[in-house]
């Protein structure tokens, strides 16, 4: 490939046209930060934001098939960016989580007793919503991007190609064709649009697995009384289940199961577990929800998520393993926008300024896989589950430093990089206390 770094054609200037396919968090954040950075550098850009869904209409027209958690890290980062998430889009602020196991349950509070995690509906809400009482998270971000200057086009991109001079060209379902100086692909792994780019040299879409999400209408009073402001997490000895959470929202609660291709049998076994039935309201049938879906999630980043005048963001590029997908969308979108505005839009510019972030997330995910393997080992051993419970309970009662509580909090909420979690769990004081609790648990088991 020729050295294109110094070619003026690769820089964005007044009137440059950028197309963004997908107006989920990655697409909207990318558009928002493009304008933000362009404004600081004095450039006028034109941004077309393609989105076929309508976030003002209830599922499935406006649904984005997501559990809907904004991690505390992302809440803080957005606040320092000047994006303060309003109460009208946060269905519930969470200040704690409850870990449920067969050996008991323990509640873990945020260190500052502050509502630092946001539970949201990505779209306007589940299928049985007739009257929309809140703003969807994706709709809110789309509005932020449009307020900055993005032009929303409600149409579907059906074809992709390149002009003779190498500029990306998209054709819409309506038949219109547009040529761009830069094209950003910000669709999810469930979108058929990803297939349009398989011809792009080097790009391989991310590997994905099937998950399960079910929404329940419980009513606000029941959610308050049964779930409160806590995310409920289940550490059960069920094969193929990596993570299960019951997330309270305003009037609804979302059940999310992540693991190795979650199927109907696994869902049934999970819902019949005594630990799960205890967490649901009395005389409530967990088999019946308002709606459900089995979306696929990215578990392995895409190969080469950039090319000349083309960049893949969020799930279409690289995201965090199982957690904080919206946070990864924010980070990749902003890094790509900064590369495009401050450096240029060639493959080399993205390789030098965007790829390091993608590699960093991918490397952290490898440690995440190790951390989840350890969690799986704990799930499979009763004495280990009891040791975790005892250690965490003691910490919550103030008997010891919050080592296990902190590790579990970050592991299940996605608040810290997996590297930080693994390093803290290798601390001698952590290992010492865990060994002591494991020994005590084994002895109690023999008795």
* Interacting residues with other proteins between 5 and 64 (CB under 8 A): 37, 40
Report yes or no: 372 and 425 within 8 Å, Cβ to Cβ: no
Q: Does 331 bind other proteins (CB under 8 A)?
A: yes
**What is the Cα–Cα distance from 415 to 314, expressed in whole angstroms?**
17
Task: Write out the H or E segment, with its range, that includes residue 267.
Answer: helix 264-271
CB of 76 to other proteins, least distance (A): 4
Pick from 111, 75, 77, 73: nearest CA to 93: 75
- The CA dihedral of 189, 141, 112, 373, to the nearest 10 degrees, is 0
What are the residue ranges of helices labelled H in 324-354?
325-342, 347-353
Pick from 304, 313, 309: nearest CA to 351: 304
Site string for other proteins, 373-392 (x = CB under 8 A): --------------------
Q: Does 402 bind other proteins (CB under 8 A)?
A: no
**What is the Cα–Cα distance from 311 to 333, expressed in whole angstroms?**
10
Q: Does 363 bind other proteins (CB under 8 A)?
A: no
Q: Which of residues 60 and 111 has its CB atom nearest to other proteins in the complex? A: 111
Q: Does 118 bind other proteins (CB under 8 A)?
A: yes
Q: What is the DSSP letter of 403?
A: H
Pick from 114, 110, 150, 143: nearest CA to 21: 150
* Interacting residues with other proteins between 142 and 181 (CB under 8 A): none
Mark the segment that binds other proteins (CB under 8 A) among 108-116, 166-174, 252-260, 281-289: 108-116
Distances (CA, A) of 120 to 26, 281, 286: 16, 21, 21
Q: Does 109 bind other proteins (CB under 8 A)?
A: no
Q: Which of residues 2 and 84 has its CB atom nearest to other proteins in the complex? A: 84
Q: Which of residues 205 and 406 has its CB atom nearest to other proteins in the complex? A: 406
Site string for other proteins, 60-99 (x = CB under 8 A): -------------x-xxx-xxxx-xxxxxxxxxx------
Q: Which residues bind other proteins (CB under 8 A)?
A: 37, 40, 73, 75-77, 79-82, 84-93, 112-116, 118, 220, 224, 229, 250, 331, 334-335, 338, 357, 360, 417
């Amino acid at each position: 490939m020729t050295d294109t770094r110094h070619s003026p054609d690769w820089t964005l200037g007044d009137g440059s046209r950028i197309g963004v396919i997908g107006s989920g968090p990655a697409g909207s954040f990318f558009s928002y930060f493009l304008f933000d950075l362009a404004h600081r550098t004095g450039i006028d850009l034109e941004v077309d934001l393609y989105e076929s869904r309508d976030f003002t209409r209830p599922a499935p027209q406006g649904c984005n098939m997501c559990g809907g958690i904004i991690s505390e890290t992302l809440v803080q980062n957005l606040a320092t960016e000047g994006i303060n998430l309003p109460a009208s889009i946060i269905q519930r602020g969470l200040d704690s989580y409850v870990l449920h196991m067969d050996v008991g349950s323990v509640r873990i509070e945020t260190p500052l007793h502050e509502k630092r995690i946001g539970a949201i509906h990505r779209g306007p809400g589940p299928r049985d919503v007739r009257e929309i009482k809140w703003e969807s998270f994706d709709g809110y971000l789309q509005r932020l991007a449009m307020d900055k200057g993005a032009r929303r086009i409600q149409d579907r991109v059906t074809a992709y190609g390149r002009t003779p001079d190498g500029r990306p060209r998209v054709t819409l379902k309506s038949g219109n064709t547009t040529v761009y100086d830069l094209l950003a692909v910000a669709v999810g792994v469930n979108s058929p649009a990803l297939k349009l780019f398989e011809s792009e040299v080097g790009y391989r879409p991310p590997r994905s697995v099937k998950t399960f999400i079910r929404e329940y209408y419980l009513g606000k009073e029941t959610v308050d009384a049964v779930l409160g402001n806590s995310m409920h997490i289940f550490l059960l000895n069920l094969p193929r289940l990596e993570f299960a959470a019951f997330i309270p929202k305003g009037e609804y609660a979302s059940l999310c199961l992540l693991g190795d291709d979650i199927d109907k049998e696994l869902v049934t076994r999970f819902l019949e577990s005594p630990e799960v039935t205890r967490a649901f309201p009395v005389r409530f049938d967990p088999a019946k929800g308002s709606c459900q879906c089995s979306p696929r999630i990215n578990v392995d980043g895409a190969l080469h998520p950039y090319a000349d005048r083309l960049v893949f963001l969020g799930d279409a590029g690289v995201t965090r393993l199982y957690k904080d997908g919206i946070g990864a969308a924010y980070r990749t979108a902003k890094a790509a926008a900064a590369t495009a505005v401050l450096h240029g839009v060639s493959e080399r510019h993205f390789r030098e300024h965007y790829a390091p972030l993608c590699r960093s997330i991918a490397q952290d995910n490898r440690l995440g896989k190790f951390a989840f393997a350890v969690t799986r080992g704990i799930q499979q051993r009763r004495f280990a589950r009891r040791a975790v419970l005892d250690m965490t309970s003691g910490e919550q009662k103030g008997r010891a430093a919050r080592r296990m509580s902190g590790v579990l909090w970050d592991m299940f909420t996605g608040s810290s990089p997996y590297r930080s979690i693994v390093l803290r769990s290798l601390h001698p004081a952590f290992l010492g206390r865990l060994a002591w609790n494991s020994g005590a648990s084994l002895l109690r088991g023999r008795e």
